[in-house]
A and B are shown apart, each in its own frame.
Chain A
Amino acid sequence: KAGVTQTPRYLIKTRGQQVTLSCSPISGHRSVSWYQQTPGQGLQFLFEYFSETQRNKGNFPGRFSGRQFSNSRSEMNVSTLELGDSALYLCASSLRTLNTEAFFGQGTRLTVV
């Protein structure tokens, strides 16, 4: 069974631009969560989508947004990029039933210059 797939693996963008990252969850998983990983702040929760609806949101500015499609694939978008947005962006998929685990993709390494 294929794991969580994130594309692209690496991105370099300029300050002020916007970026869209993609995540395909494990087949049958309907929940996708996004996390930002940086050396200083560690792993921080961005948001979670389930059945095309945002169910949870972390403490990030409105420049960070996402969506989920009917096939459970998810995208996250960051607008007006800042240098501090440079990070590894990880997505995790789960069945989202009681007693379920979250499985992570390899991440997208975003560098803002």
Chain B
Amino acid sequence: GENVEQHPSTLSVQEGDSAVIKCTYSDSASNYFPWYKQELGKGPQLIIDIRSNVGEKKDQRIAVTLNKTAKHFSLHITETQPEDSAVYFCAATQNSGGSNYKLTFGKGTLLTVNP
């Protein structure tokens, strides 16, 4: 089955700096890679995703890149703000609309943005 490794497990940055979280996956059939943000006491919130036919996607201060050959994808947050502090999870799945729709998650990255 799929295995997703996520690094680093903790990341502390100063407000305004950039943050980068990296994930690798093992199953070359995986084609959908979402990122979730989880704040204390809440469920994971989808913040951005990327599909295997795209190399990069950007949404305001958040961007995700995908390297299918190396089987890794990364989350980039620019101009970080204290409200970006949370646990971030990457995930991978083979999303074909068929019977294999389940997400395999990384272990999470605790991001702390210091004012």
Instruction: Write the residues of chain A forming the contact surface with B, with a CB cutoff of 8 angstroms.
Output: 4, 6, 31, 33, 35, 42-45, 48, 55-56, 58, 90, 92, 94, 96-107
> For B88, what are the chain A residues with a Cβ–Cβ distance below 8 Å?
none
Smallest CB–CB gap between A98 and chain B, Å?
A: 4
Interface residues contributed by chain B, number (CB under 8 Å): 26
Give bound CA distance, A95 to B86, whole Å: 27
- Render B17-41 as a binary contact track against A, CB cut-off 8 A, 1 for contact: 0000000000000001010100001
Q: Which residue of chain A has the shortest Cβ distance to B2 in the bound complex?
A: A45
Q: A99-B95, A106-B43 are in contact. Are A48 and B102 (CB under 8 A)?
A: yes
Interface residue ranges of B44-80 to A (CB < 8 Å) = 44-46, 49, 51
Q: Which residue of chain A has the shortest Cβ distance to B43 in the bound complex?
A: A104
- Beyond the given pairs A48-B101, A97-B97, 11 more chain A to chain B contacts, judged by CB atoms under 8 angstroms and listed by A's residue number, are A4-B43, A33-B102, A33-B103, A42-B89, A43-B108, A45-B102, A100-B97, A101-B46, A104-B46, A105-B43, A106-B43
Give bound CA distance, A90 to B91, whole Å: 15
- CB pair B46 A103 closer than 8 Å: yes
> For B103, what are the chain A residues with a Cβ–Cβ distance below 8 Å?
33, 35, 43, 45, 92, 102
- CB pair A98 B100 closer than 8 Å: no
Q: Which residue of chain B has the shortest Cβ distance to A95 in the bound complex?
A: B97
Smallest CB–CB gap between B26 and chain A, Å?
A: 16
What's the dominant secondary structure at chain B's contact region? loop
- CB pair A101 B99 closer than 8 Å: no
B104 at the interface (CB under 8 A from A): yes
- CB pair A42 B105 closer than 8 Å: yes
Smallest CB–CB gap between B36 and chain A, Å?
A: 7
> For A35, what are the chain B residues with a Cβ–Cβ distance below 8 Å?
103
Give bound CA distance, A102 to B96, whole Å: 14
Q: A42-B107, A100-B95 are in contact. Are A31 and B43 (CB under 8 A)?
A: no
Can you list 7 A-B contacts (CB < 8 A)? A33-B103, A42-B105, A42-B108, A94-B101, A99-B95, A101-B46, A104-B45
Smallest CB–CB gap between A106 and chain B, Å?
A: 5
- CB pair A45 B104 closer than 8 Å: yes
- CB pair B49 A101 closer than 8 Å: yes
